[in-house]
Amino acid sequence: MTSFVIEADGGSRGNPGPAGYGAVVKDAADGQVLVETAEAIGAQTNNVAEYRGLIAGLQSLLALAGDGAVVEVRMDSKLVIEQMAGRWKIKNEGLRPLALEAGALARRLRVTWQWIPREKNKDADRLANEAMDAAAKGRPWQPSGSAGTGSARMGAAGTGSVRTGSAGIGSAGTGSARTGSAPSGSAGTGSTAAAGPSEARELGPSDASAAQVSGRPATAAAPLAAQDSLLDLIDADALSSGQDVSSGQAAASGTAGTGWRAPTTVATSLLLLRHGETPLSVERRFSGLGDPELTPNGIAQAEAAAARLSREPYGIQVVVSSPLKRARATAEIVAARLGLEVVVEEGLREADFGDWEGHTFTEIQRRWPGALAAWLADPSAAPPGGESFGVAARRVQATGDRLVERYEGRTVLAVSHVTPIKMLLQSALLAPLAALYRMHLDLAALSLIEYYADGPAVVKAFNDTSHLR
């Protein structure tokens, strides 16, 4: 199994003062530098800069190797290493959100923590100083030209250079990749919370941007084979406009499949439909396991979705639904139009928001400020008496896996809620759970994921509401 080393550091010229961080991802076998990233972060303390360097290193490794990678994290900050290893308490409340964010990233990897002397952390120290030097001259940090053939932006970590061609990293070749970029001037953790928990609300329009997820550039392989998938039969412009497109049109176009390698199987198409409007969504209240009915407008939204999905080219063969009334009512309206029965899937239910059920975000912020801050910063934190995103994600992923296995090669409509739908999309994109905060999903919106038995999952549509116009 390929394993890695992260070396991270941060510094402040004044403590607090002009600060910056640097992080390096290396191949543990030969020490080859795979990723370098650095950024100036304005006036901060040494400890904040060190935590930001750690977060940038973890983000870079996840973008490079994905979940489950084995890594030794090395820093010359005894404070950060001991706190992350759980041996020291976090007494500085200003560091707690950063530690929570780093911990959430680390839990997706297999991490060991190692303190090293400063003289053995020269690469990360150099990068942090390069970032601070560049900022002093009014310029962003830029990777050196010797860092390899591909460059990437690693989250809010600034610009990172990637060295390609190392064994065990895959056949990425040359090119660029992007992960979710935080708004300019963000400090990492705080920017996530500020995006707004729209995934937790029945209706919560926000200006949060959708996370961009890293992709693997195509290598110079043979041309991709034609892909027998639902949205390869649909023109992208026609999808967003609600037009019907026949399969013959796409077949004549010869469009290759989506992805970086040729699929060898017929896709299992999972159409995801969020339920229609309820009284709680009108008032923008948290609605988890509570069971409100659809409003008249919600029924009309479900009927509009049914009219669209009953036409070509969808060809839905199975309808599954959350057990909650608002989803089941939506599913039954669509299924009746299609002449199908609704199969109830318990795992498609909404997350349990516990004591927050029925409250607005503002009410929760006033009554449970500490619990809300923790919930926004860490997917393992649960609302009082409720379910964490981490627990919900495991339940939703297991359900999605069962559906794909049970209905392999078929087109399935799953009617569910904002959190489970976002989690299925997030998983298909190989994005972190924090991506939930950067997605907005409207009532009665359609999304589409296509799964292949040989590996890839492809998101083909997201938050499409053209049938409601």
Q: Which of 275, 359, 417, 440 is catalytic?
A: 275
Rg, Å, the chain Cα set? 23
For residue 224, the one-letter residue type is L
What is the C-alpha to C-alpha distance for residues 193 and 204, in angstroms, rounded to an integer?
A: 14
- Distance CA(417)–CA(341), nearest Å, equals 20
Q: Locate all alpha helices (DSSP H) within 118-197, ordered by sequence.
A: 122-136, 189-194
Q: Which of 7, 350, 387, 450 is catalytic?
A: 350
Contacts of 299 (CB under 8 A, 6+ apart): 276, 329, 333
What the block records as the tokens of 438 is 């950067």
Residue type, 255: T
Residue 224 sits at the vertex; the CA angle it makes with 460 and 213, to the nearest 5 degrees, is 40
Residue 45: which of 3, 114, 98, 112 has the closest Cα?
98
- 247: Cβ–Cβ under 8 A, 6 or more apart, which residues? 233, 312, 313
User: Which pairs with CB-CB distance under 8 Å and at least 24 residues apart come from 175-178?
Assistant: 175/150, 175/217, 176/150, 176/151, 176/152, 176/217, 177/63, 177/150, 177/152, 177/214, 177/215, 177/216, 177/217, 178/152, 178/153, 178/212, 178/213, 178/214
Beta carbons within 8 Å of 71's beta carbon, 6+ residues apart = 3, 4, 5, 6, 28, 61, 109, 110, 111, 112
Show Cβ contacts of residue 404 under 8 Å, excluding neighbours closer than 6 positions.
268, 270, 451
Annotated active-site residue 350? The verdict is yes
* Strand ordering across the sheet containing 457-464: 342-344, 318-321, 411-416, 268-274, 446-451, 457-464
Q: Are 258 and 296 in contact (CB under 8 A)?
A: no
Distance CA 162, CA 143 (A): 9
Cis peptide upstream of residue 313 (ω within 30 degrees of 0): yes
Is-catalytic flag, 275? yes
User: Degrees (nearest 5) of the Cα angle 114, 118, 122?
Assistant: 100
Intra-chain end-to-end CA distance of the chain, in Å: 51
Q: Is residue 104 helix, strand or coil?
A: helix
User: Do 124 and 23 contact (CB within 8 A), yes or no?
Assistant: yes
The residues that are catalytic are 275, 350
